[in-house]
Chain A
Amino acid sequence: MARVQRYPDGSRVPPWDRAVDLNKEPAPVPEPAVTPVPEDLRRTIEAYMSKYPDRRSAVIPSIAAAQRHYGWCSPEALDQVAAVMRLTPAYVESIATFYDMFETEPKPAHDVYVCTNISCSLLGADELFEHFIETLGDEGDFNIRAFECMGACDIGPMASVDGVYVGPLELDDVAAIANDVRDGRPVLSRKQLAHRAAADPGAAVPVPDPDTMAAGPPMPPERGRGEATSPEDEP
């Protein structure tokens, strides 16, 4: 069993007076004059703020924009969001730490979220995640995370690679995904969710497929030979 990490006083949480500097003033809203913000980031955030009746609503899209810009939610990035939105850094940080898709630690460039929730794990998602870690964990290019259900149980076990859903995945696909990402190709294009037809047989529209197009349209099913009647058989 894994040992629980403990602080010197035996507690599993830091002592109450240790995590904070009690003499420090709470950080105010950053001064725009001393908080330089890249012009395109500022404009993006201001555009988000203008869309809502209350500018504070734009905080999630704005943090997302800062994360796209810097690669992660660094303290400087959050300060800049706070400066543009006129919020305290603590408020922005409280949002950034609440939501799963914001990373408050430096992370590798490419996100691989592997679903390990119930439907996918019934189909082997845990082995898939282990395999991702074994194959790509040490590479430094990939931010591999076990994620909760991403709403694609029909292609389980699945992963979201830089926002692109792919599945159903087999263990061999892991290396192919890594190659596609490194070469800048669309990730595993034959297994992308975007190209998947609806499973409902009643809703299916025949999708033109290069193989069947060459062979002509699908023929209607043949009637059983025993039932076949010719004019001669008629009495």
Chain B
Amino acid sequence: MTKLLFANIDEPDLNTIDVYRRHGGYEALPKALKMSRDEVQAQLESSELRGRGGAGFSMGKKVSFLPHGAMDKYLVCNADESEPGAFKDRELIQKNPHQLIEGLIIGAYAADVNRSFIYIRGEYQYQADILDAAVKQAEAAGYLGERILGSDHTLSLVVHRGAGAYICGEETALLDSLEGKRGNPRLKPPFPANQGLYQGPTLVNNVETLSNVPHIIRMGAKAWAEHGVQNSTGTKVVSVSGCVRNPGNFEIELGIPTRDLIMGLAGGPREGCTIKFFFPGGSSSPVLTAEEGLDIPYDFDSMAKAGSMLGSGSIIVVDDTVPVVEVAKKVAKFYAHESCGKCSPCREGTNWTVKMLERVDTGEATPMDLDIIASVQDQIIGHCLCVLGDSMAMPIGSLVRKFRAEFEEHIERAREARGMGVTVPEPEPVGIAGADPDVGPY
């Protein structure tokens, strides 16, 4: 299978500029600088490269949304990869940082941006050090700074380290955090393309999206778009983790069967286990059971059609040894912890969901509480400032819907273990004084 982003990924010292150049690195940049900005933008748009951070929005379109003219515009690379199950950006930064930097310079050229930032999460200390060193090398080689390679393009790049907050992966919260505030999402619109960092037009792109840009310019958009399927062009680095034998990052062409990915590349479930369900796009995507999900192609549209989403392309596999209530509790607790507290559906909804799931776990709940859990999820979806609330509501809602029998069984068993009686006793009919029992009170 074609490797673009992962070509030579394990070559020793690929993170240095010399080795990267030996493998054809920084050849796309002069090619792009010889083209006009509009031509580069047209290449990006005709490649139909979709954002790899989770939303899947066309990158070329995003670039075209930025206003033209001389003003302070910014490009921010989102390397705050904190979605449970996602670790593709980590490997791309650690092993091939110059690919990202080259893509970022070309993206900045297309959008006519002179200042750029890479917001990397604080936990990635090793990766941030590598990135710092790579930026220094690129500056020394004249790829960053004033009048890059003799063109009229000028770009500065700052690597900014976060300090541990999942919410800063949301683009407007990331911009707030980069401005030195608490990472709270902003109301949209205005979208960052109009009013973003320091109130200026801002292009926000994921690490993998930008890493694809040099390949699009090098190969030409048409040749690049031959990889993958319609509406999901190109290759995708997919992180597979959880109950599989060979967890890790795999670069695939979009549209291959999900079975090949989980059973083939990731080695399938562990000895003696079978796959119960999996999260196709990180812990925020609705789960698919093995029967539903394994035979559909892994691309944006097929996943959406199956009622889930590709998201950041991170598969978490759960096998039949794991109680579904445990998974639901873990996921809900994570989002309750990371909710920034700015808007109430998310702040309250995530907390109450955790409390209700704990009641389910200890057997204090009744099956009716499962309906309440499901209805709380429905009231979160679409009612928040950002997608963090939805990110909990979608998987929890799908878990309760698809595994309701197991939830109910769990409640029964927990009640039994606590000696609370297996079934809830029927309430005694309350007699109303003076009413004829045969006729009824009314």
* Contact flags A194-208 to B (C-beta < 8 A → 1, else 0): 100111111111010
CB nearest to A196 among chain B residues: B248
Contact of A153 among B84, B94, B121 (CB under 8 A): B84
Which residues of chain B come closer than 8 Å to A135, judged between CB atoms?
none
Query: Within residues 41 to 59 of chain A, which ones have a CB less than 8 A from any CB in chain B?
Result: 51-54, 56-59
Contact of A148 among B3, B6, B89, B166 (CB under 8 A): B166
Which residues of chain A come closer than 8 Å to B84, judged between CB atoms?
117-119, 148-149, 153
| Given A98-B165, A156-B241, A199-B126 contact (CB < 8 Å) | no
Which residues of chain B come closer than 8 Å to A193, judged between CB atoms?
126
Is the beta-carbon distance between A122 and B161 smaller than 8 angstroms?
no
Which residues of chain B come closer than 8 Å to A1, judged between CB atoms?
362
Chain B nearest Cβ from A208, distance in angstroms: 9
Chain A nearest Cβ from B172, distance in angstroms: 15
Is the beta-carbon distance between A200 and B83 smaller than 8 angstroms?
no
Contact of B164 among A54, A59, A99, A154 (CB under 8 A): A99
* A59, A119, A121, A156: most-surrounded residue (chain B CB, <10 A): A119
Chain A nearest Cβ from B338, distance in angstroms: 7
CA of A163 to CA of B331 in the docked complex: distance in angstroms?
A: 24
CB nearest to A53 among chain B residues: B198
Is the beta-carbon distance between B161 and A60 smaller than 8 angstroms?
yes
* Contact flags B225-257 to A (C-beta < 8 A → 1, else 0): 000000000000001011100111111000000
Chain B nearest Cβ from A163, distance in angstroms: 4
Is the beta-carbon distance between B246 and A199 smaller than 8 angstroms?
yes
Is the beta-carbon distance between B182 and A118 smaller than 8 angstroms?
no
Chain B nearest Cβ from A204, distance in angstroms: 6
Is the beta-carbon distance between B163 and A101 smaller than 8 angstroms?
yes
CB nearest to A165 among chain B residues: B126
Is the beta-carbon distance between A118 and B85 smaller than 8 angstroms?
yes
* Contact flags B29-73 to A (C-beta < 8 A → 1, else 0): 000000000000000000000000000000000000000000010
Which residues of chain A come closer than 8 Å to B250, judged between CB atoms?
199-200
| Given A99-B122, A117-B330, A149-B85, A52-B163 contact (CB < 8 Å) | no
CB nearest to A98 among chain B residues: B182
Which residues of chain B come closer than 8 Å to A186, judged between CB atoms?
none
Chain B nearest Cβ from A165, distance in angstroms: 7
Contact of A154 among B11, B72, B163, B249 (CB under 8 A): B249
Q: Would you call A150 an interface residue if the criterion is a C-beta within 8 Å of the partner chain's C-beta atoms?
A: yes
Q: Would you call B306 an interface residue if the criterion is a C-beta within 8 Å of the partner chain's C-beta atoms?
A: no
| Given A122-B243, A151-B124, A200-B265, A102-B163 contact (CB < 8 Å) | yes
Is the beta-carbon distance between B10 and A207 smaller than 8 angstroms?
yes
Chain B nearest Cβ from A170, distance in angstroms: 15
CA of A58 to CA of B418 in the docked complex: distance in angstroms?
A: 53
Which residues of chain B come closer than 8 Å to A117, judged between CB atoms?
84, 283, 330, 334
Q: Would you call A160 an interface residue if the criterion is a C-beta within 8 Å of the partner chain's C-beta atoms?
A: yes
Which residues of chain B come closer than 8 Å to A53, judged between CB atoms?
72, 115, 198
Q: Would you call A152 an interface residue if the criterion is a C-beta within 8 Å of the partner chain's C-beta atoms?
A: yes
CB nearest to A100 among chain B residues: B164
Q: Would you call A123 an interface residue if the criterion is a C-beta within 8 Å of the partner chain's C-beta atoms?
A: yes
CB nearest to B95 among chain A residues: A198
CB nearest to A206 among chain B residues: B10
Query: Within residues 85 to 134 of chain B, which ones have a CB less than 8 A from any CB in chain A?
Result: 85-87, 89-91, 94-95, 115, 121-126
CA of A58 to CA of B181 in the docked complex: distance in angstroms?
A: 10
Is the beta-carbon distance between A203 and B10 smaller than 8 angstroms?
yes
Q: Would you call A61 an interface residue if the criterion is a C-beta within 8 Å of the partner chain's C-beta atoms?
A: yes
Chain A nearest Cβ from B311, distance in angstroms: 14
Chain B nearest Cβ from A203, distance in angstroms: 4
* Contact flags B183-199 to A (C-beta < 8 A → 1, else 0): 10000000000000010
Is the beta-carbon distance between B248 and A200 smaller than 8 angstroms?
yes
Which residues of chain B come closer than 8 Å to A197, judged between CB atoms?
10
Is the beta-carbon distance between B126 and A149 smaller than 8 angstroms?
no
Q: Would you call B7 an interface residue if the criterion is a C-beta within 8 Å of the partner chain's C-beta atoms?
A: yes
Is the beta-carbon distance between B160 and A61 smaller than 8 angstroms?
yes
Which residues of chain A come closer than 8 Å to B87, judged between CB atoms?
151-154
Which residues of chain B come closer than 8 Å to A154, judged between CB atoms?
87, 239, 241, 247-249
* B160, B198, B318, B337: most-surrounded residue (chain A CB, <10 A): B160
CA of A123 to CA of B241 in the docked complex: distance in angstroms?
A: 10
Which residues of chain B come closer than 8 Å to A174, judged between CB atoms?
none
Is the beta-carbon distance between A95 and B180 smaller than 8 angstroms?
yes
- Given pairs A118-B316, A119-B247, A122-B243, 7 additional interface contacts (CB within 8 A): A51-B158, A58-B180, A101-B122, A153-B242, A163-B123, A198-B248, A199-B266
Q: Provide 10 A-B residue pairs closer than 8 Å at the C-beta atoms, listed in order of the A residue.
A: A51-B158, A60-B161, A99-B162, A101-B122, A122-B316, A151-B89, A154-B248, A200-B9, A200-B248, A204-B10
Closest 9 CB pairs of A and B: A199-B248, A153-B241, A100-B164, A99-B163, A56-B180, A101-B164, A149-B84, A163-B125, A203-B6
